[in-house]
Structure 1
């Protein structure tokens, strides 16, 4: 895919999977998925396909291509987690067997999405956005990726490819506050949110999310 100079077009990729789990923050004990893919999860898929430190993906909209269906999964997890510093140094072992617990997760079944995103350049970028768009487009067409994309968690791998012209699934609903993005450049990391709505099968994503305090007020 060659992009004419000066023309700005979005990145579009179609993804599907047998299941997905886009966990709602604050519900980590018994995990409950959002009804649709979150923008941060969509960015994760794109970065698995193609990533450079000079670019950032900005999600514009997510089209839902399959009915929203759920199933419950029982998972084995551990309550014994080593602090990050100790884990990095290898000075502490984790007794998974002695601290194993079973928790339920409400997941999504047989999902399909069409992700529309723009490429924003970092200040140190030396190429125009069209050059990176060409690269990600070629990877989507050939099915190549840097790492296996997944749908919320690694146990749900994503299939991806060139988008087709299938209409979004006809559903409209208020989805409430949804995770927009996570800013890892500040300490502690900062979550941003937006008031999500699916309208005729499409979730439109604002350019900027709002911080936690503003989200509570909203």
Structure 2
């Protein structure tokens, strides 16, 4: 695709929390990152409200390992408590994704320039992203660098299939759906020869309403400020 990017993201630890484990104050990671967590990483590389990122494929490069740590999180009423968090260890992923224009942001139609956004996104990958990269949670720092998705040797390249069962796919926000409610999507994740191919958000059949929301407003002055910031960080914007 003309508007597709590929990059590698790695880190010493990752915590893509399974929401079922948070009830008692503990946290246990999924074995793989969710669609939504990868989308958050891509948006930390480059994002504007004009576009929506879609995660196409994830390639798991390192073996899936976990490590538990005793943590003393702060309680809501003050003080500390003791909990065990289970992290992924020594993670490395390759991500292939693309963007599409947000059809619900007609107020930003003047910013729908595919070449401009694609070129800035590629330069942002080269620079390691425009914001700090976190692997599921703030204490897990990640690092982004450009790569070729299919090159190199991955740990699961010869494994026909691993089924991860039902897990969270992502969240539907009003900005990207045009609806006033927030929804959580679930799907059945599986990896084939080291690659997870994500379905699109609208293809998820298990969807549950989780709250209310509204489309965020963006003024022309806000957008111009962001354009100028990206030009300073990554060079002049390409319009052709």
Aligned-pair Cα RMSD in Å: 2.0
Q: CA deviation at 1:20?
A: 0.2
Q: CA deviation at 1:187?
A: 6.0
Larger RCO, structure (CA 8 Å, separation 6 or more) = 1
Q: CA deviation at 1:188?
A: 5.5
| Aligned pair partner of 1:133 in 108, 118, 136 | 118
CA distance 1:136–1:191, shift in 2 (3 Å): same
Is 1:77 matched with 2:73?
A: yes
Q: CA deviation at 1:211?
A: 3.3
The residue number in structure 2 matching 1:155 is 139
CA distance in 1 between counterparts of 2:205 and 2:70 reads 33
**Residues 31-83 of structure 1 deviation map (CA, whole Å, 9 limit, x = unaligned):** 11111111111111111111111011100111001010110022222331xxx
> Normalising by the residue count of structure 2, what TM-score does the alignment of the two structures yield?
0.74
**Residues 101-125 of structure 1 deviation map (CA, whole Å, 9 limit, x = unaligned):** 1111111000000011110111334
1:55-74 alignment to 2 at 5 Å?
A: 55-74=51-70
CA distance in 1 between counterparts of 2:181 and 2:85 reads 27
The residue number in structure 1 matching 2:195 is 202
The residue number in structure 2 matching 1:45 is 41
Q: CA deviation at 1:9?
A: 4.5
CA distance in 2 between counterparts of 1:188 and 1:75 reads 34
The residue number in structure 2 matching 1:166 is 152
| Aligned pair partner of 1:24 in 4, 8, 18 | 18
CA distance in 2 between counterparts of 1:130 and 1:74 reads 48
CA distance in 1 between counterparts of 2:96 and 2:57 reads 5
CA distance in 2 between counterparts of 1:193 and 1:12 reads 25
CA distance in 1 between counterparts of 2:88 and 2:12 reads 8
The residue number in structure 2 matching 1:87 is none
2:20 alignment partner, SS class: coil
Is 1:13 matched with 2:7?
A: yes
The structure richer in strand per residue is 1
CA distance in 2 between counterparts of 1:67 and 1:109 reads 9
CA distance in 2 between counterparts of 1:193 and 1:11 reads 25
8 A Cα contact 1:57 1:120, kept in partner: yes
The residue number in structure 2 matching 1:176 is 165
The residue number in structure 1 matching 2:82 is 102
CA distance in 2 between counterparts of 1:79 and 1:177 reads 30
